[in-house]
Structure 1
Amino acid sequence: MTLPTLLDIEASGFGRGSYPIEVGLARADGSCCASLIQPLAEWTHWDPKAELLHGISRARLAREGLPVEQVARWLNDELGQAGIAYSDSWGYDNTWLSLLFYHAGMLPTFRLEALRVLLSERQLSLWHATREALVEELGIRRHRAAEDARLLQLVYARTLDAGG
């Protein structure tokens, strides 16, 4: 089975002024990768509640994050041929992706679509319970971009196999 490419973004918060801090991918072959993003000087919003979820500190971003241009280039290299990636939080992820590419001075060579467009009604009805079962079964750590993208991919595959 060819799996859809999934993208997930962790951010500094959830409201105005938030920005992407990590982007992760689950590729069509099931392999995963992620990159921390070095915040720009003008990106100052920081929500401690968001940090509690993803566990990424501002100090770690400063130390390990890559410049926005490098992350945007990497995403184009990774996703340009696929042409499309899917997100379960399209509204947030598309906003943060647009912000990243805007500040990198680049355009994405791929499209981000809502994962929902791929799902049947049966898959939607099984989604939540299947996700929770997989988190427990596989011991997946939530709220890290690559792990969340892979989890979405696994839930997609299992709900598809269940007659979706």
Structure 2
Amino acid sequence: MTLPTLLDIEASGFGRGSYPIEIGLARADGSTCAFLIQPQADWTHWDPKAELLHGISRGRLAREGYPVGEVARWLNDELAEVGVAYSDSWGYDNTWLSLLFHHAGMLPAFRLEALRRLLSEAQLACWSATKEALIRERGIHRHRAGEDALLLQLTYARTREASGG
């Protein structure tokens, strides 16, 4: 089974003024990678509740984050040949991805699509239970972009097998 490339973004919060702080990928071969993003000077929105979820502080982003241009170039290098990545939160992730590329002064060399487009009704029916089982089995740390992308990919694979796909 060929696995789809999954993309996940952690952010400073939700809604107006929020921005991406970490982008992770689960590649078709099952390997993962993730990069922290240095906030732009005018990216000031910060939701302490979001920080409680992902555990990434503003200070850590300033110290360990990569400039938006580097992250945009990395994404294009990773995804141009694949052409498409999938997200389970397309509405948010596409907005944050657009913001990243806008501030990098670049255009994405790939499309971001909603993961829902790949799922059958049978997969949807067992998605949540399968995802929770994988979290328990593998001890996955939620709300970190690389781990969440991998969790989505593993859930996709297991629900596809379970639904006979």
- Tell me if TM exceeds 0.5: yes
Query: What secondary structure sits across from 1:81 in the alignment?
Result: coil
Give the distance between the partners of 1:25 and 1:32, measured in 2 at CA.
5
Match of 1:29 in 2: 29
Q: CA deviation at 1:70?
A: 0.2
Match of 2:17 in 1: 17
Give the distance between the partners of 2:120 and 2:49, measured in 1 at CA.
33
- Listed as ranges, the gaps of 5+ residues in structure 2 are none
RMSD: 0.5
Q: CA deviation at 1:117?
A: 0.2
The percentage of aligned residue pairs carrying the same residue is: 81
Q: Which aligned pairs between 1:122-137 and structure 2 lie closer than 5 A?
A: 122-137=122-137
Letter in 2 for 1:95: T
Give the distance between the partners of 2:80 and 2:26, measured in 1 at CA.
14
Q: Which aligned pairs between 1:9-158 and structure 2 lie closer than 5 A?
A: 9-158=9-158
Residues matched between the structures, number: 164
Query: What secondary structure sits across from 2:2 in the alignment?
Result: coil
- Listed as ranges, the gaps of 5+ residues in structure 1 are none
Query: What secondary structure sits across from 1:109 in the alignment?
Result: coil
Q: CA deviation at 1:15?
A: 1.3
Give the distance between the partners of 2:86 and 2:162, measured in 1 at CA.
21
Q: CA deviation at 1:75?
A: 0.1
Query: What secondary structure sits across from 2:85 in the alignment?
Result: strand
Give the distance between the partners of 1:115 and 1:129, measured in 2 at CA.
17
